[in-house]
Amino acid sequence: MAAYLVTGGAGFIGSHIVEMLLERRERVRVLDNFSSGKRENLQFQNHAQVPNLEVVEGDVRDLDAVRQATSGVDYILHHAALVSVAQSMADPLMAHEMNATGTLNVLLAAREAGAKRVVLASSAAVYGDNDDLPLKETAAPRPLSPYAASKLAGEAYCRMFYAAYGLPTVCLRYFNVFGPRQDPNSQYAAAIPKFIAALLRGEPPTIYGDGTQSRDFVYVANVVQANLLACEKNDAIGKVVNIACGDRRTLLDLYRDLTALIGTALRPVFAPARAGDVKHSMAAIDQAKQVLDYQPQVEWRDGLRHTIQWYTDRS
């Protein structure tokens, strides 16, 4: 039985990783400051799994807390971060402290603890506005927000720690992840949970911009799969890897599919585009297939159905 640390494990993506690790009967420790993560995200149906779960309240900006959480673990899945582009635009220093300094702290502690691998949750935001789609990992980064810049800094630290210290690291560049447990009520919530929550209330959602902006949406179970593979596959060590589905849909496409699945004819409200948002994004996932044996397991509409059902059950 391996021991895993999931930073940000009470958050949207982190809690899904924790749940899958517990299903595999692994030992799991969560480090979370609960600024955006929720304790209820760690209340899983199979209560027999809970003895394998240790929850530590702490912040990745606190090196001592990170050192304590890292002690005795084999694998670190680093998801603690400030994840909002808009929030980072309002508070660049916070974004840097959480995403760059926080990652450096995790790497320092991992090296001291002799961890077997650190997997960083990075972001397609590092590519910025790049029309050369699909985006390959070799594309020049063009960060347009403090969020993107701080994620890129985290990647640089990961690659340096592998090159200089031999600490095995893998950086996963997530595209637009969606699924159950995404918070639709946050000021900075992503489009899919906000759209679903509004439609279930019988209210028209807001689309920022004209709706033609496109994204490579990836269901959270596919991201969980990528994280577990990143802990196992030696070919991925030292690399940056796109995690997505390799296709794209506009926000208007998203809106059409959601209204069809929910069964409503509400029309959206349009608002000005937001600063820092990129226009188009789509991943090349050849490297993920090659070094991780990654293949998306849950397709677009199935992912939307699962997500809608989760919010419906709680509405």
Q: Among all residues, which ones are annotated catalytic?
A: 147
Hey, what amino acid is at 107?
Answer: L
Question: What DSSP line would sit under 152-169, residue for residue?
Answer: HHHHHHHHHHHHHH---E
Provide the token pair at 89: 């635009």
How many angstroms separate the CA atoms of 75 and 264, rounded?
45
